[in-house]
Amino acid sequence: MSPAIETGLYVLVLGSVVGLEVIRRVPALLHTPLMALTNAIAGISLVGSLLLAGSQRGPLITTLGAVAVGASSINVVGGFLITDRMLRMFRPSGSARSAGKADADA
Q: Give 5-51 pLDDT, tens digit per residue.
A: 888 888 888 988 888 887 788 777 676 677 777 788 888 889 989 99
Q: pLDDT tens across 44-88, in order? A: 889 989 998 998 889 998 999 999 999 999 988 888 888 788 778
Q: Give the predicted TM-score (pTM) of the model.
A: 0.57
Please say whether the beta carbons of 47 and 75 come within 8 A: no
Count of other CB atoms within 10 angstroms of residue 75: 17
For the chain, what are the domain ranges?
26-91
